[in-house]
Structure 1
Amino acid sequence: MGCGCSVSAAVEPVELAPTTGQFFQTFKLGRKLGEGAFGQVRLTTRINTGEMYAVKIMDVRRSGDDATMDVQILKEARTESQLLGQVSGHPHVVALYETYLETPGLFYMIMERCYGSLMDSLCDMPKLTETNLRRMFRQMLLGIGACHAAQIVHRDIKLDNFLYGGERCRTIKLSDFGLAVRLPRRGAVKGVSGTAPYMSPEMLGRKKYDTKTDVWSFASTAYVILYGDVPYSPAQPSAPAVKKAIVLAYPPPTWARNEKLAKRYSQPSEGAEHFCRFLLVRDPSLRPTVQQALNHGFLQDVGDEDISEADEDEAEESLIENPGEQIRTITNLFASKKKPRIISRGLDEVLARLEEAGPPLPHADLEGLGGGHVFTEEIPQLPQNFSDEEEAGGQSQRMTFATSMRRKLSTESRIVRHSNRRTNTHSGVTASQTTEAARQLQKALSALPDHLGDSERGINGTIA
């Protein structure tokens, strides 16, 4: 099957009911997968089903004050979850399931578990053939196209932000929406964000830009894979130097492999070079869209086989052996040396203390808006319709209102039952408050639409 899949269909989000459960009531933390300026990513297991997910834990505490939250950081965390939620039903975007905001100022994003980045995969790949490269490019573009169809600019397209996930963990999925923005009605945004070698000329030139900036970043990524160097490579590699080179368009791209690679491998094929030149256009008004990139001849007749399972012709020449090693070496030269704006402040210790203490008891206000230990976020909006080809992949991510509400009530029911078995001095919940919580649960249950039936409402109107 070819790559004629359209990515321009409008996304109709479905607004889901809010959850009111607490993170440690529902999940158990596992090992750490990564750490950065925002906080950390860890494995987590849903206690009642054993299902495994990844959780991104963002530290939104105000510096030096565990009692209050940093409004700006919290806004950024919520924006990231909302934008990811708009496209998380797409088969080439990491799925987001739930979000929680809890004291002492931690924001949890429950996401699909993935298995390593595309960069990691290239590091483990003994050789990269053009057949596999074309499949790789196609899946990357489909993920980017889902964002653009939802009027979202990702702003950090690079190999590290594509993960392997899906049913067999062999589907490329776009992740990390921490720098993403939604296009306004006028269709352009400003601001310099991303990773230096992949930033577009219009972004670095302090001009307004749109989704075409992501196309430039993808083209720069393709150039790095094909030629083993960044398109605009200054004599002294550094983040400031490469930004200046992109703005000045000097020194220009050589469209040839660096000296080290040229000794061992032939140049990329004419089709691969034409594809990269087609995308790496400095003028954004002349630069193609993602859909036009998918329609390019280089990506035509590319099958939908998983990249690691594709039947490759053993005689096919390698574009490069151990490709990840070469790519990581060059990209590390341009890594920013600036210290992160947000520093994790004993986050491991905080999480260990919270997990050991167990979930606090709920206050009477089950919507979590009237004070107490937990303020649980609304589940981000998920898309209702993608194109026909993507419908099957997105179907599993959608939840009906009834299913969401039933999960909400079941979670609160467990919390209330738990409160009758022990006293939690930290939350200061009284017996009358737990009684009131139970009463509100029954009230919420009775509010479910009549057409849901006993399977959703529970037997005799009690919590299932």
Structure 2
Amino acid sequence: MGCVASRQEVYDEIPESAEFFRRYALGKKLGEGAFGQVRLATEITTKKEFAVKVADVRTQESRNVVGVSKRRKRNIEREIYMWRLASEAKITQVTSLEAAFYCGGFYYMVCEICKRNLMQHLLHVKTLAEDEFATLASEMLKGIHHLHTIGLVHRDIKPENFLCADKTGFQLKLCDFGLALKQPRKGKLSGIGGTAPYMAPETLVLRRGLQSKPTFHKEVDVWAFGVILYLILFGKFPYMPPGEATAETMKHAIKHDNPPLHFPESQSSLALMLTTRVLVRDPRRRITAKDALQDPFVLQANAHASRQDSRGSDLRVSVRDAKDMAEKLREFQISENTQQDLESRLKTVTAKSGGIWFSEGDETLVSPTQSLNSVSARADSRIKKDKKPVSRDKFGTHSGVVSE
């Protein structure tokens, strides 16, 4: 995925411990990625529900020997560090990290649970009133601006990385800090990383001419935000490569402005005007997230929040084709065999650690003789005896659960 800044950063190492399984019961799978899963996690003592991002850092060293990837381990610890920094202020537009653990070749990042992401919400709705669209833009910008205020660059802004925190789908929370970097006091960041359709021109270098890494600043997040606006307005990405679309041809089109960036007419003139202000190829002329929050289009979100009904002409939303294309452009495809192996190993680690594993169906316990009430007392005594407890203050914050 992404490359880190030029100098090597050192992050807190999370000690190996079965603490996660003493506190939480693993539930059904909510999502999956190339190197992990997101699952339901129920806190044993309180019965509260959370989501847990399970990241696999194992590597096959030989046919019968499984080791740990130091590079992947370092990347996950960087993600946890960035996520902790982002969620310390407990603003509503950033997903809160509850705690982080490491056991059996897996990291477990416990966070608040949300029903669906922005892409799923856009697939669900048929139309958006202009002030509803403005509310989505405002929520995204608040999350991005918060990161920039504390010196972080997300680098992977896209609809899938904004979670909907309520039933309406208009309260968004930024998530997934796997590519996030801390802005140095002097100079710019370097490296290549992100999701192809949302990558800013300044972050791209052709493979043939890869003599030096591109440098960039926080403006890359604003560009990606502009791609989301364009996607909602027109149902496609700003750059659509001719012929077969691959990650490389998409990057080539963005890097060389070929075919040139074009803004069709739109039903929402204010939204279109903001889109033209953020999709500026020269990052020095691109507006900041702070300035975008004061844009006339975004300020309509305040009107939407102050009343029950929505106003403004309805914009037809059609993002299915773009979603399908983005999935085809993934540089790390999700393998069914990898997921099955991960799940099998995760069950083994859970059993060895004395944890609880729910079935995939109705979330009944695999062992009928077990129940959350019966294990709560044992969990209390185990937590007290644990020699290496994970500090919540050190690895995360808690701002409650968001679920239906």
Deviation string, structure 1 residues 264-313 (Cα, Å, up to 9, x no partner)? xxx23221111100111111111111001101111124228679x95124
AA of the residue aligned to 1:99 = A
Give yes or no for contact 2:304–2:310 (8 Å, CA) kept in 1: no
Query: Once the 2 structures are TM-superposed, how far is the Cα of residue 113 of structure 1 from its aligned partner?
Result: 0.5
Looking at CA atoms only, which structure, 1 or 2, has the larger radius of gyration? Answer: 1
Show the counterpart of 1:25.
22
Query: Once the 2 structures are TM-superposed, how far is the Cα of residue 129 of structure 1 from its aligned partner?
Result: 2.0
TM-score by length of 2: 0.77
User: Which of 337, 350, 357 is the aligned partner of 1:355?
Assistant: 350
The 4+ residue runs of structure 1 with deviation greater than 4 A are 17-21, 64-67, 166-170, 304-307, 337-345, 360-365, 376-383
Give yes or no for contact 1:81–1:380 (8 Å, CA) kept in 2: no
Q: Are positions 1:249 and 2:257 aligned together? A: yes
Query: Once the 2 structures are TM-superposed, how far is the Cα of residue 54 of structure 1 from its aligned partner?
Result: 0.2
For residues 233 and 73 of structure 2, the distance between their equivalents in structure 1, rounded to whole angstroms, comes to 39
Q: Secondary structure at the match of 2:216?
A: coil
Deviates more, 1:355-364 or 1:274-283: 355-364
Show the counterpart of 2:278.
279
Give yes or no for contact 2:56–2:107 (8 Å, CA) kept in 1: yes
Show the counterpart of 2:309.
311
Q: Secondary structure at the match of 1:73?
A: helix
Q: Secondary structure at the match of 2:239?
A: coil
Query: Once the 2 structures are TM-superposed, how far is the Cα of residue 380 of structure 1 from its aligned partner?
Result: 4.3
Q: Are positions 1:184 and 2:184 aligned together? A: yes
Show the counterpart of 2:217.
210
Show the counterpart of 2:103.
102
Query: Once the 2 structures are TM-superposed, how far is the Cα of residue 225 of structure 1 from its aligned partner?
Result: 1.2
Q: Are positions 1:91 and 2:86 aligned together? A: no
Deviation string, structure 1 residues 180-203 (Cα, Å, up to 9, x no partner)? 111122241111111111111110
For residues 342 and 236 of structure 2, the distance between their equivalents in structure 1, rounded to whole angstroms, comes to 37
Q: 1:130 to 1:37 in 2, by over 3 A?
A: same
AA of the residue aligned to 1:120 = Q
Deviates more, 1:159-168 or 1:175-184: 159-168
Query: Once the 2 structures are TM-superposed, how far is the Cα of residue 327 of structure 1 from its aligned partner?
Result: 4.0
Show the counterpart of 1:366.
387
- Could you list the runs of 5+ residues in structure 1 that have no partner in the other structure? 1-14, 258-266, 369-375, 384-393, 398-464
AA of the residue aligned to 2:388 = E
AA of the residue aligned to 2:121 = S
Show the counterpart of 1:293.
292
For residues 80 and 166 of structure 2, the distance between their equivalents in structure 1, rounded to whole angstroms, comes to 20
Show the counterpart of 1:388.
none
Deviation string, structure 1 residues 330-363 (Cα, Å, up to 9, x no partner)? 5446x13555799557121122223334439899
Q: Secondary structure at the match of 1:97?
A: strand
For residues 163 and 208 of structure 1, the distance between their equivalents in structure 2, rounded to whole angstroms, comes to 29
AA of the residue aligned to 1:72 = R
Q: 1:60 to 1:344 in 2, by over 3 A?
A: farther
For residues 127 and 292 of structure 2, the distance between their equivalents in structure 1, rounded to whole angstroms, comes to 25
Within 5 Å, which residues of 2 pair with 1:431-442? none
Q: Percent identity?
A: 31
Give yes or no for contact 2:17–2:102 (8 Å, CA) kept in 1: no
TM-score by length of 1: 0.68
Deviation string, structure 1 residues 62-86 (Cα, Å, up to 9, x no partner)? 3247664211111111111110111
Q: 1:167 to 1:133 in 2, by over 3 A?
A: closer
Q: How many equivalent pairs are there?
A: 349
Show the counterpart of 1:160.
160
Give yes or no for contact 1:233–1:251 (8 Å, CA) kept in 2: yes
Deviates more, 1:154-163 or 1:122-131: 122-131
Q: 1:244 to 1:283 in 2, by over 3 A?
A: same
For residues 338 and 173 of structure 1, the distance between their equivalents in structure 2, rounded to whole angstroms, comes to 24
Query: Once the 2 structures are TM-superposed, how far is the Cα of residue 364 of structure 1 from its aligned partner?
Result: 8.7
Q: Secondary structure at the match of 2:116?
A: coil
For residues 63 and 170 of structure 1, the distance between their equivalents in structure 2, rounded to whole angstroms, comes to 43
For residues 72 and 41 of structure 1, the distance between their equivalents in structure 2, rounded to whole angstroms, comes to 21
For residues 247 and 308 of structure 2, the distance between their equivalents in structure 1, rounded to whole angstroms, comes to 37
For residues 21 and 356 of structure 1, the distance between their equivalents in structure 2, rounded to whole angstroms, comes to 11
Q: 1:293 to 1:317 in 2, by over 3 A?
A: same
Deviation string, structure 1 residues 164-211 (Cα, Å, up to 9, x no partner)? 126987520011111111112224111111111111111014421011
For residues 43 and 59 of structure 1, the distance between their equivalents in structure 2, rounded to whole angstroms, comes to 17
